[in-house]
Amino acid sequence: MLEELLLLRQQTDDLAVDVVSRLQAVALKNKKSNTGQCFGRFDMYGFLKEHHGEDSVLQELWEEVNAVPEWVGWAQIERGQEFLYIAT
């Protein structure tokens, strides 16, 4: 079990790694040009949301994150929501 966990910790999502480096470059560019807000913590989601249309790699991740998988059962979700609503 521990060996499996260690192997998983060494795996990466290549698209996500590429997106992080591109977002950091955008943030650095904005910080140098003083056109963006880069105060305190770096809001990667905010930068992705704002800049995904400017880069094909950012766009690819944005589409993956916002796509609803085919296997989602909307009727099942609705039944679950109704159950929780009645139970509370």
pLDDT in tens, the chain (88 residues): 888 888 888 888 899 999 999 998 888 887 765 555 545 577 899 989 999 999 999 999 999 999 999 999 999 999 999 988 886 6
- Residue 12: per-residue pLDDT: 85
Distance CA 20, CA 47 (A): 10
What lies within 8 Å, CB to CB, of 61 at 6+ separation is: 15, 16, 19, 48, 52
Closest residue by Cα to residue 1 from 11, 29, 65, 9: 9
**Residue 52: per-residue pLDDT:** 94
pTM of the model: 0.65
Place of tokens 């999502």: 13
- Provide the token pair at 82: 């109704």
How high is the pLDDT of residue 49? 94
